[in-house]
Amino acid sequence: MPKRRTKAKNTTDASNSTPRKRTRRSTRLNTDNGETDEAKALEKDNHPSTKPSDNGSPLEASAPSTPPPPHNGNDGHSDSDSDDHMDWEHIDMSAAPTTAADMEEEEGVEDEQPVTYQDVEVVFEAPRAVLKKSKWEQAYERNMREWLNHSHVVLLVAHFAIRNRWCSSSEVQAASLSCVPEHIQHQCRQHEESESKFAGAIKALLGWWKSYFKLTGIGPVTRAYDEFDFLNSQNINWESDHQPIQQELEKRDMLDGESITSSVDLLKKLVDQSGCRDTSAELFVAVIRSLGFDARLVCSLQPVPYRIPTTNKRPSSSSSSKTSQSNEPSEDDGDDHDASAPKRKPKFPLRAPRPRLEPGQDLDEQLKATKGKSPTVWAEVYNPHHGRWICVDPIRSIYDQPKAMHPSSGDKQNFLSCVLAFDQGNHGKCVDVTRRYALSIAKARRLRERELTKREKEAGMRSWWDGFYHRIRHDNNNNNDDDERYAREQEEMERMESKEPMPTSISAFNNHPLYALERHLKKFEVLHPREPVLGRIRNEMIYPRSCVKPVHTAETWMKHGRVIRDGEQPVKRVNARAVTTEKKRAQELAKQEGHVLQVACYGEWQTENYTPPPVIDGVVPRNSYGRVDLFTSSMLPKGAAHIPIQGIGKIARRLGIDFAEAVVDFEFVRHRSVPVTNGIVIAKENKDILLEAWDEYEQTESNKAIEKHEKQVYDRWRKLILGVLIKARLERDYSNHHHPISEPNASSTTTTTTTSGYESFLRDRHRDEESSSHAVAGGGFVVEESAAGGGFLPEDEEDDL
């Protein structure tokens, strides 16, 4: 058995020993070699220098230290003395207990002693607090993304409109025609004879162009919004720092396409027989137009997305990994690509993965990787034999395959959201042909622009793209053939949209223009009727979009001029939206009672038009608040007239005409619902009388306003003139200027004497009085010499009168 550590009983030896520094002591013993090594390591860290004990042996300080037994107060020493004057025996660690009984006995003995563990301080680096952005900051950033997207769309449309104009110029077409071999020209002259010769000429031209023009670049691609953050972080002057911005974009490899500033530069690309993908398609349009074809320049706009790129932060599970791939805009790897990041597991392990563009790849490798990808610029040729436009891809030599222009789901640099076609001519018509090439028109519209909110729709707001497209489509020409061609094209695209295949994923049904699922219904939407059922997806029934009907509360239907029929039951109940103070109090009371405050919703098929009571004997019917509800024109009472003039009620009150204010809407002010009035409602027979009185009142008020204005003008002029006169008199009478005095002596020199200010004042006043006797007085009358000052006649003259 190893010796236990005991307190030294020889107090004399303890008192004679040199005092030692108090250290923390452990109660636990290391029982194996591994623990002994750890104890030595900790001893070396905690106590680099070890003092020898009284008996000459080194002081043992194991890693966990043991405190002395509690002082019972019987040995006559204080706590400080007992701590300082204690001796410890050296323990041989090799004699540790080896049997289970010894270990249990040792543990039992140790458990009797109070155990004190050494303090361990663990420091964790607190994560940086990410402050949540306020509602206004989020709205501002959302608006910034939308403005950037709209600005980029406008610039791209202008860019392709200029390129289309260059392709229609006579110089470019003449040079393009000279490059085409003679046998292809001869074949193209026969394209109007038959359908087969038309298709053969186009395919022959595609084969020749593929071998003639060499690709040297990938062309424009989609850039995420986050890639342009460096423009916001730097203080860049957009007017003077154009070159530094271009250099920064070149450094980040963000300049897509080629810089072509004129049609001459475009011709140089044709002569050099090389260029990027979009330049190749534009020159092909110029070549095919020079051969007599009616061709369009078609471009798939690649603006900066208005949405933040989506990132999947959750770990993919076995169920979600199969459908985790999303077509939403995502962040490009850019220059911060991490080679050590885990690679995506291939969907098909035995299939070679598709090549992906990396910033470090050479241009040739990038061209090989993108050779089979969908382009962003191509051509359309009008087929007179079938009366429709044919899709032509000069990059991949594809003829009449419009759906092949849609990019693959894995291509994160090409999104088909808006496809425009530019007709031939300097001011060619711009046509939206997105429906012809999109696999899902609903998805294309979501990528193009956000959907308007319910409040924006109710306010009659129009989407930005609809307004912009209305201005650029150029419907000013009066060509009947073009109008018929445009009408046939629109009918064709509508048929293609109606024949669009049903989506294969649940997320694609959300806001789909043709199909709907019950899970995607909004708060105020229901399915009515619940037939026909077009199919099922994951045991969910698919309904046509026409079955989705809006529902509203009784108050909302009243604003639409409709009321609920008697005996109708609500088709849906939704949680009440507490905006006013009254609604909030009702919501709190319902919460205290243990239920949620809900409101009943009804469909339009459960309502009827509101019929107000008529006007009887000139008395206008009113509601409980003394007003007339006039949210729509159909709510006007029979025999009544609405006069939307503010302030005309006081004239009706003077004439004794019965009237009531017209409530046209409600607005929320300080958590209260306040009615919005617009004019009054009176009996129809009193309308003319009231309007005549109003005109007379307006004329009178106008005259009063003119007179008041003239009086104010005259008062201001009087005040101004009086101020000038008073200032002039004060300067003349009380100024302190010094005037020179000259003596009239011709023989002597003129001497100037300076008098005091008081003498000068008296002299000037006397001079003014003398000169005033010969001056003309104000008013145009000459002052007579006999007239005395003060305006009174002399006494002798009064006697004569």
**Cβ–Cβ < 8 Å for 503, 520:** no
Tell me how far the alpha carbon of residue 412 is from its chain's centroid: 22
- List C-alpha distances in Å: 324 to 310, 312, 313, 315, 357: 12, 9, 11, 10, 21
- List C-alpha distances in Å: 17 to 7, 47, 267, 302, 674: 15, 21, 106, 90, 94
State the average pLDDT for the chain.
Answer: 75
**Per-residue pLDDT at 15 exceeds 90:** no
Amino acid 795: pLDDT: 45
Q: How far apart are the first and last CA of the chain?
A: 159
Residue 568: Cβ within 10 Å count? 15
Amino acid 480: pLDDT: 61
Amino acid 706: pLDDT: 97
Amino acid 372: pLDDT: 67
**Residue ranges of domains in the chain:** 11-112, 138-238+249-309+363-498, 509-552, 555-610, 623-704, 751-801
With cut-offs at 50, 70 and 90, classify the pLDDT of residue 370: low
Amino acid 510: pLDDT: 87
Which residue's structure tokens are 């939704």? 574
**Per-residue pLDDT at 516 exceeds 90:** yes
Per-residue pLDDT of 636-658, as tens digits, reads: 999 999 999 999 999 999 999 99
Backbone region of residue 797 per phi and psi (left: phi > 0; alpha: psi in -120 to 50; beta: other values): alpha
Residue length of the chain? 801
Spatial CA neighbour of 88 closest among 194, 17, 157: 17
With cut-offs at 50, 70 and 90, classify the pLDDT of residue 289: very high
Spatial CA neighbour of 285 closest among 375, 372, 221: 375
Spatial CA neighbour of 388 closest among 299, 488, 296: 488
- Interval 84-113 mean pLDDT: 51
Highest mean pLDDT among 245-249, 455-459, 742-746, 782-786: 455-459
- Of 3.90.1150.10, 3.30.1330.40, 3.10.450.50, 3.30.70.2460, the CATH number of 623-704 is 3.30.70.2460
In degrees and rounded to multiples of 5, residue 105 shows phi and psi of -65, -40
How far apart are alpha carbons 657 and 618 in whole angstroms? 8
Per-residue pLDDT of 245-255, as tens digits, reads: 667 777 777 77
Query: Which of 74-83, 86-95, 267-276, 490-499 comes out lowest in average pLDDT?
Result: 74-83
Q: Going by C-beta distance under 8 Å and a sequence separation of 6 or more, which residues neighbour residue 502?
A: 515, 534, 535, 542
Per-residue pLDDT of 428-458, as tens digits, reads: 789 999 999 998 888 898 889 888 887 888 7
Q: 501 by DSSP, 3-state: which?
A: coil
Amino acid 368: pLDDT: 58
Amino acid 627: pLDDT: 94
With cut-offs at 50, 70 and 90, classify the pLDDT of residue 371: low
Amino acid 713: pLDDT: 97
Spatial CA neighbour of 84 closest among 7, 149, 160: 7
Per-residue pLDDT of 109-127, as tens digits, reads: 444 555 565 677 777 776 6
Task: Count Cβ neighbours within 10 Å for each residue of 154-174 and write b for 16 or more, e otherwise.
Answer: eebbebbbebbbbbbeeebbe
With cut-offs at 50, 70 and 90, classify the pLDDT of residue 62: very low
Two tokens at 160?
């392709």
Which has more confidence, 166 or 738?
166
**Cβ–Cβ < 8 Å for 209, 285:** no
Amino acid 362: pLDDT: 53
Per-residue pLDDT of 596-609, as tens digits, reads: 889 999 999 999 99
Alpha helix (H) ranges present in 296-433?
A: 363-369
In degrees and rounded to multiples of 5, residue 380 shows phi and psi of -130, 135
**Cβ–Cβ < 8 Å for 697, 653:** no
Edge-to-edge strand order for the sheet containing 640-643? 628-629, 659-668, 673-683, 640-643
Bridging pattern class, strands 388-393 and 377-383: antiparallel
Amino acid 141: pLDDT: 87
Question: Could you say which architecture CATH assigns to the domain 138-238+249-309+363-498?
Answer: Alpha-Beta Complex (3.90)
**Per-residue pLDDT at 175 exceeds 50:** yes
**Per-residue pLDDT at 386 exceeds 70:** yes
Instruction: Give the count of alpha carbons within 13 A of 127, CB side only.
Output: 3
**Per-residue pLDDT at 345 exceeds 50:** no
Spatial CA neighbour of 94 closest among 46, 26, 35: 35
**Per-residue pLDDT at 16 exceeds 70:** no
Query: Which of 417-426, 707-716, 757-766 comes out lowest in average pLDDT?
Result: 757-766
Tell me how far the alpha carbon of residue 491 is from its chain's centroid: 36
